[in-house]
Amino acid sequence: MTIQRICCIGAGYVGGPTMAVIADRCPQVRVQVVDINQARIDAWNDADLGKLPVYEPGLDSVVERARGRNLHFSTDVEASIAAADMVFISVNTPTKTKGLGAGQASDLRWVEACARTVAKAAKGHTIVVEKSTLPVRTAAAIQTILEAASEGEDQPTFSVLSNPEFLAEGTAIRDLETPDRVLIGGDDPAAVEALAEIYANWVPQQQILRTNLWSSELSKLTANAFLAQRISSINSIAAFCEASGADVREVARAIGTDSRIGLKFLNAGPGFGGSCFQKDILNLVYLCRHFGLPEVADYWESVVALNTWQQHRIARLVVQKLFGTVTGKRLAILGFAFKADTNDTRESPAIRICRDLLEEGAQLAIHDPKVTAQQIARDLQQEAAPQPDALSGTGSWAEAGSVEDAVTGADAVLVLTEWHHYKVLNWMALAALMRKPAWLFDARAVINPEQVRAAGLTLWRVGDGEG
Ligand code: UDX
Ligand code: ADP
């Protein structure tokens, strides 16, 4: 079975870049990405590559090479499914906000809607690939919906595969082009090999791992849970370093050079954000409780609890250092994205920290090179507006067009995202624009401490017991 036509449902952070790379590496395969969101599809088709809906370094040139050749974006979901011999489901699976499992279980309404659309529109034999992060055994639900459509003569038939995505935002193109591994889970060997053949166009065979469906689904949750656990572990030690006079970067280097531990993912910071880590762990927690393993559930839940604590801790610490009150004070927030090189703010630590500071009555001037003011307003659930009476106790925020604008008249600067631009700022010049005594809170430890101190600012760095 050789795949000629792929349809991907969902043109988001996962579907868009993944399909762009598949189309780029497999010119013989026609790849169509479909979405119900017309504005998103229009943006993917925009002649101006700067307007792509997802910002990823290198994505524009991949799209430029493949788009219009064998990569197409459309809202005609059913026609695209009907023409495809392989359909990827890459729709959003956020945590449920209400009902059974609220706050923990994944909301599968979009996945289920997709499965029903595939069941209705597919022709002939179709391989359906789960690409979205899904709770273990979701494939079974998809399979059941599809099987119901297969009954009777001349009806479509289906094979379901799990092919979790391990790309990280900001490095998506590199992760897709040179993945550590590709994981394909499934019970139909012919379908597994058909998908493996696609990846084999650029991924060495020994890096294409085949497993059963459930192992594949669980591996995705486990990989994210382990990665997030490392961040909570180092952040817990960062707090202890601050209390005890140690430096978390020295500790991280000392432990990371043990080859069993390794150096990656040991940067202390304001806590992890992004659409995956918290969602996947909460999912794991929910499933463990469901399967009667409360101790296991509690163990993983503590990783999220520590992350939330770290974010509140930083906000609290800013208030304490600024003489116990930030009411009416101007605070410059540098960075709103959940990490550098992305415009994504989902679960960004900046959201919780800014909300806490607004609650305390602060006036925030928020700068981010990629995040729009509209997005910030949605995340903070508050429109940008100047506060006429700064001491009224009501917090407010405004977008700052540049770092200079943000820090002018500010009592403190908070660095919340590690954008490269923030690492090379001239603190001597910036400090002169601030109200004294002025503070710099470097939650990412990316600013040169000597320069900041020479500029007369008082510095707090995450995990720095000297600060
Ligand atoms: C993650 C996984 O890395 C990826 O494999 C999976 O497919 C999706 O989830 P992503 O959320 O894009 O990717 O970002 P990642 O680079 O993993 O960072 C997640 C969060 O952890 C960010 O907020 C980042 O700032 C934070 N982080 C990461 C740290 O605080 N310290 C570190 O050492 C590493
Ligand atoms: P992810 O990070 O998992 O890619 P996103 O939210 O960025 O998540 O993208 C998911 C996309 O899936 C959205 O653009 C949304 O409009 C699309 N989508 C959701 N449900 C359907 C559906 N039934 N049919 C087509 N597209 C869908």
**Domain co-membership, 241 together with 156:** no
**Domain co-membership, 312 together with 440:** yes
Say whether pLDDT at 467 is over 60.
no
Domain count for the chain:
2
**Domain co-membership, 173 together with 287:** no
How are strands ordered across the β-sheet holding 396-399? 396-399, 363-367, 330-334, 412-415, 439-442, 458-461
Ligand 1 lined by 13 (C-beta under 6 Å): no
Ligand 1 lined by 344 (C-beta under 6 Å): no
pLDDT score for 202: 98
**Domain co-membership, 160 together with 299:** no
Q: What is the mean pLDDT of residues 254-282?
A: 96
**Domain co-membership, 366 together with 273:** yes
**Domain co-membership, 64 together with 206:** yes
Q: What is the mean pLDDT of residues 240-269?
A: 97
State the sign of the Cα–Cα–Cα–Cα dihedral 49, 52, 56, 59: negative
**Domain co-membership, 450 together with 463:** yes
Question: Nearest C-alpha to atom 2 of ligand 2 is from which residue?
Answer: 13
Domain stop point among 160, 188, 211: 211
Domain stop point among 211, 232, 267: 211
Rounded distance from Cα 272 to ligand 1 centre (Å)? 7
Q: What is the mean pLDDT of residues 122-136?
A: 88
- 350 alpha carbon, closest ligand: 1
- Digit-coded pLDDT (tens) for 325-377: 999 999 999 999 999 988 899 999 999 999 999 999 999 999 999 999 999 99
Q: What is the CATH number of the domain that holds 221?
A: 3.40.50.720
Say whether pLDDT at 97 is over 90.
no
* Cβ–Cβ under 8 Å, residues 407 and 374: no
**Domain co-membership, 230 together with 344:** yes
**Domain co-membership, 461 together with 347:** yes
The percent of the chain in helix, strand and coil, each rounded to the nearest 5, is 45, 15, 40
Ligand 2 lined by 41 (C-beta under 6 Å): no
pLDDT score for 104: 81
Least confident of 8-17, 37-46, 49-58, 179-188: 49-58
Ligand 2 lined by 13 (C-beta under 6 Å): yes
Mutate to test the pocket of ligand 1, among 56, 182, 231 (most ligand atoms within 8 A of CB): 231
Give the position, in ligand 1's atom list, of the atom nearest the Cα of 270.
Answer: 30
Q: Going by C-beta distance under 8 Å and a sequence separation of 6 or more, which residues neighbour residue 295?
A: none
Ligand 2 lined by 91 (C-beta under 6 Å): yes
pLDDT score for 293: 98
Domain stop point among 211, 236, 271: 211
Q: Which residue has the higher pLDDT, 336 or 111?
A: 336
**Domain co-membership, 304 together with 177:** no
Length of the chain: 467
Ligand 1 lined by 231 (C-beta under 6 Å): yes
Say whether pLDDT at 57 is over 60.
yes
Residue 276 is among the residues annotated as catalytic for this protein: yes
Say whether pLDDT at 39 is over 80.
yes
Mutate to test the pocket of ligand 2, among 14, 92, 166, 338 (most ligand atoms within 8 A of CB): 92
Residue 337 has φ and ψ, to the nearest 5°, of -65, 155
pLDDT score for 149: 81
* Cβ–Cβ under 8 Å, residues 286 and 278: no
Rounded distance from Cα 350 to ligand 1 centre (Å)? 15
Q: What is the mean pLDDT of residues 125-145?
A: 86
- Digit-coded pLDDT (tens) for 389-448: 777 889 999 999 999 999 999 999 999 999 999 999 999 999 999 999 999 999 999 999
**Domain co-membership, 136 together with 151:** yes
pLDDT score for 386: 78
Q: What is the mean pLDDT of residues 226-251?
A: 98
Question: Nearest C-alpha to atom 5 of ligand 2 is from which residue?
Answer: 12
**Percent of the chain topping pLDDT 70:** 100
pLDDT score for 263: 96
How much is the CA Rg of the chain, to the nearest whole Å?
24
Burial degree of 9 (CB within 10 A; 0-12, 13-18, 19+):
buried
Rounded distance from Cα 224 to ligand 1 centre (Å)? 9
pLDDT score for 198: 98
| Cα–Cα nearest to 288, from 381, 225, 211 | 225
The pair of three-digit structure tokens given for residue 205, joined into one six-digit string: 């065979």
Full domain range(s) for residue 420: 214-467
Mean of the per-residue pLDDT values of the chain: 95
pLDDT score for 250: 97
**Domain co-membership, 204 together with 76:** yes
Ligand 2 lined by 87 (C-beta under 6 Å): no
